[in-house]
Chain A
């Protein structure tokens, strides 16, 4: 009897862990996978090739809590004439003609968005480089999330930079 039970117990034990790993993979990173955007916009082309600064499009980043997504009008100020033959620019033109904003999918957000106060302006004024939180965006053909923005990470960066670590700094 024992001769048969032990192999079964061993099999069940390993199958259980395989199921755990499969479940982990299934739920892995669900809220932070790279979203499929309505237009295949490349930061790499606009920053590394054309030479635009981050603030050229995200012009609210040093003035407001939010970095801001540029309005279609801003894109069209160049793309009325540039790359008009590209299908992606034609998609952009359609939004412009229909007077609709591009429904960009959010890449970065806090897991508990309503409980965290974060100001882009304050971090930019403190001299923090965009890449500290967003990675090397200038090299990304497709914008992807490279930091999880978890509390422990924020706190260790605050400590390392002698920034306040009181609860009320982020949780108003």
Chain B
């Protein structure tokens, strides 16, 4: 998939800074939405199966409400589900420009699978409003939607685990190679359990705050929904610390930093408050606490996303520096090309020579005294009639005088070397004439 890299241009430093904030924004939009959809779809399907096993229509209502409340509308699927992933693919292409990581292809696989999964989820949701739809059609559409989303988000979280480990970038080239990572497993299971928890909390929030549901529901049904929403939310919230710890313990050292640990502790504290709120809700039948738990959960999601971003920034520091240096080089090259166009390409450019002298040569050489290398005044007089030899030496230095250390190769072009020599002789002759 090397051709994918050719679709992107190397980003400038400012552009890079901006797109990194865009990644945060895209995660803020996408992750809470997809967690609700994923959790909602799973519960809806679970209760749909229970309807057939237990032969109770009561569960069919629960299944329909999960699908109606948490899968949202189709426009949300496009704008909060698929579109952010397309934007993220384009951003990753910029951030990992020319890096030996196949992130763009992994993101494309994810986007395609998510698009199919979300479409099937909306079809599954619509089957509740269709008449004469059989159980099998619902099972297949919902089941396949769930399978597509599971595969998509395993690739997504495994790719995000790979980003945190630059040492493995060039090793992992195929999508199935992503599977062998404990950190990927930890991140995926963290996502799944967090989705199940947030879906339970969201059920409490939307069911007991939206009038259309409240009016329809009888007290027994409302009691059951509170018990189910609160119960699953509390159970899966209590699983979160395990995956937070597992993720930290398997995260590559290069991604870890004091802020990552501090934010993880903050997430644990927030999770504690969420679980206490949910416990009080279940114990005292205070459904209004569902709103508090939902708000707290959304805030916790944001903190988790920021935490992941901090780890990512730490791990990709080197890649960022490479891109910034590259952008500066490209800019410098363009500037040099413009300058070269202005000056004659054949004629040595004394001004360019002076610039190179000041930036590179003067570290080791001066005209009138020895620094690291010999004084120019002593060398230039010997080469007055054979300047081309001096140009060749500057381009490919070798040891001539054992009294001096070897001169490093500065990687100058022929024109640059000619320009330096032209400047040196110009300066040398001017000084000689003054005397």
Q: How far is the CA of A13 from the CA of B238 in the complex (A)?
A: 9
- Those of A1-39 within 8 Å (CB) of chain B: 3, 6-7, 10-11, 13-14, 17-18, 20-22, 24-25, 28-29, 32
Q: How far is the CA of A122 from the CA of B373 in the complex (A)?
A: 34
Query: Which of chain A's residues have a CB closer than 8 A to the CB of B223?
Result: none
Q: How far is the CA of A82 from the CA of B363 in the complex (A)?
A: 7
- Asked if A24 contacts B372 (CB within 8 A), the reply is no
Question: Are A21 and B271 CB-contacts (below 8 A) given A6-B279, A50-B363, A77-B372?
Answer: no
Question: Are A51 and B321 CB-contacts (below 8 A) given A14-B271, A24-B248?
Answer: no
Q: How far is the CA of A157 from the CA of B100 in the complex (A)?
A: 13
- Those of A39-61 within 8 Å (CB) of chain B: 48, 50-53, 56
Instruction: Name A's interface SS.
Output: helix
Question: Are A139 and B405 CB-contacts (below 8 A) given A81-B371, A153-B167?
Answer: no
Question: Are A24 and B238 CB-contacts (below 8 A) given A10-B272, A139-B318?
Answer: no
- Flag the segment in B10-18, B79-87, B257-265 that touches A: B257-265
| Minimal beta-carbon separation of A131 from chain B (angstroms) | 9
- Asked if B372 contacts A82 (CB within 8 A), the reply is yes
Q: CB < 8 Å: which of B252, B261, B276, B363 contacts A24?
A: B261
Q: How far is the CA of A25 from the CA of B263 in the complex (A)?
A: 12
A78 within 8 A of B: yes
Query: Which of chain B's residues have a CB closer than 8 A to the CB of A156?
Result: 168, 171
- Asked if A146 contacts B265 (CB within 8 A), the reply is no
- Asked if B241 contacts A17 (CB within 8 A), the reply is yes
**Number of A residues with CB within 8 Å of any CB on chain B:** 41
Query: Which of chain A's residues have a CB closer than 8 A to the CB of B272?
Result: 10-11, 14
Query: Which of chain A's residues have a CB closer than 8 A to the CB of B371?
Result: 81-82
Q: How far is the CA of A53 from the CA of B411 in the complex (A)?
A: 10
The closest CB in chain B to the CB of A2 belongs to B283
Query: Which of chain B's residues have a CB closer than 8 A to the CB of A148?
Result: 167, 252-253
- Asked if A28 contacts B279 (CB within 8 A), the reply is no
- Asked if B166 contacts A146 (CB within 8 A), the reply is yes
**Number of B residues with CB within 8 Å of any CB on chain A:** 45
Q: How far is the CA of A136 from the CA of B169 in the complex (A)?
A: 14
Query: Which of chain A's residues have a CB closer than 8 A to the CB of B171?
Result: 153, 156-157, 160
A123 within 8 A of B: no
Central interface residue in B245, B363, B370, by most chain A CB within 10 Å: B363
- Asked if A147 contacts B268 (CB within 8 A), the reply is no
Question: Are A22 and B265 CB-contacts (below 8 A) given A29-B253, A148-B253?
Answer: yes
- Those of A137-154 within 8 Å (CB) of chain B: 139, 145-148, 153
- Asked if A50 contacts B408 (CB within 8 A), the reply is yes
Q: CB < 8 Å: which of A25, A53, A132 contacts B408?
A: A53
Q: How far is the CA of A18 from the CA of B248 in the complex (A)?
A: 12
Instruction: Name B's interface SS.
Output: helix
- Asked if B166 contacts A135 (CB within 8 A), the reply is yes
- Asked if B265 contacts A18 (CB within 8 A), the reply is yes
- Those of B131-155 within 8 Å (CB) of chain A: none
Query: Which of chain B's residues have a CB closer than 8 A to the CB of A11?
Result: 272
The closest CB in chain A to the CB of B240 belongs to A17
B89 within 8 A of A: no
B322 within 8 A of A: yes
Complex interface bits, B256-287 against A, C-beta within 8 A gives 1, otherwise 0: 10100100110011011001100100010000
| Minimal beta-carbon separation of A39 from chain B (angstroms) | 18
- Asked if B408 contacts A153 (CB within 8 A), the reply is no
B249 within 8 A of A: yes
- Asked if A81 contacts B370 (CB within 8 A), the reply is yes
Q: CB < 8 Å: which of B170, B238, B249, B364 contacts A78?
A: B364
Question: Are A146 and B248 CB-contacts (below 8 A) given A51-B408, A135-B166?
Answer: no
Q: How far is the CA of A7 from the CA of B280 in the complex (A)?
A: 9
Q: How far is the CA of A41 from the CA of B352 in the complex (A)?
A: 30
Q: How far is the CA of A80 from the CA of B322 in the complex (A)?
A: 32
Q: CB < 8 Å: which of A24, A48, A82 contacts B249?
A: A24
Question: Are A153 and B325 CB-contacts (below 8 A) given A14-B268, A50-B363?
Answer: no
Query: Which of chain A's residues have a CB closer than 8 A to the CB of B245?
Result: 17, 20-21, 24
Question: Are A132 and B264 CB-contacts (below 8 A) given A13-B241, A32-B253, A56-B408?
Answer: no
A-B pairs with beta carbons under 8 Å apart, 16 shown: A6-B279, A13-B238, A17-B241, A21-B261, A21-B265, A21-B268, A25-B258, A48-B325, A51-B408, A56-B406, A74-B405, A77-B372, A78-B405, A82-B364, A132-B170, A153-B171
Closest 7 A/B residue pairs (Cβ): A17-B241, A77-B405, A25-B261, A14-B272, A139-B321, A81-B371, A147-B167
A residues apposed to B, CB below 8 Å:
3, 6-7, 10-11, 13-14, 17-18, 20-22, 24-25, 28-29, 32, 48, 50-53, 56, 74, 77-78, 80-82, 132, 135-136, 139, 145-148, 153, 156-157, 160
